[in-house]
Amino acid sequence: MKQTLAFDVYGTLIDTHGVMQALREIIGDRAGAFSQAWRDKQLEYSFRRGLMGAYQDFGVCTAQALDYTCVALSVVLSDEQKACVLDSYSSLPAFADVKEGLDSLRAKGANLFAFSNGRSAAVEILLGNAGILDSFEGVVSCDDVQTFKPNPVVYAHFIAETDSEPENTWLISSNPFDVIGAVSSGWKAAWVRRSEAAIFDPWEFAPTTVVTNLGQLTEKLIP
């Protein structure tokens, strides 16, 4: 039976800090701190909306997190500058190891899907601009079930959409909360730890395997 591989998009395939190029043009050397604070708040807002049952799509979480970060870091952006920075989210770059890693897995016959908090249309544009959309059989979006990772509902939705079995499905993610959500739902999971500074939450759920880049997945996941 073929392995089904569910790839998280933001932070795993796509470098969310690619937004720093647009930020540097506006706020200079504060771009790094701004980008990190924005990403952290973006995820926090998705968690909170999921718990509250007060769903708005991931793009709304991103825009509201941008507004918060501007206030928190005392950065004044015009409406035009905010629109420019938000627009850069559709053209973020893939990490350098992604294309070759995906090609290797496809060559081994694995079923590859993008699995994201983002709306399907937005994810398809993003992956297309990054040159990797054709690597996937499809995009499965949490937007379909009006909540976010790591709610168990989204992992069940992926299984139903792809006609997969949890025990034969792998999540590939750089986000520990996503790995924990998948493992707790009966999946296998590979944590992509690109930085030695990255810390996995010390919970009772652990990744099935750990890699430092996507090129290591073929040997570890495909018998």
Question: Which residues are identified as catalytic?
Answer: 8
Nearest to 10 by CA among 60, 52, 58, 69: 58
Q: Contact at 8 Å (CB) between 116 and 141?
A: yes
DSSP bridge pairs for 5: 112, 170
Pairing of strands 138-141, 4-7: unpaired
Residues in the chain: 223
Rounded CA gap, 7 and 58, in Å? Answer: 17
Provide the token pair at 195: 């930085």
Rounded CA gap, 25 and 80, in Å? Answer: 13
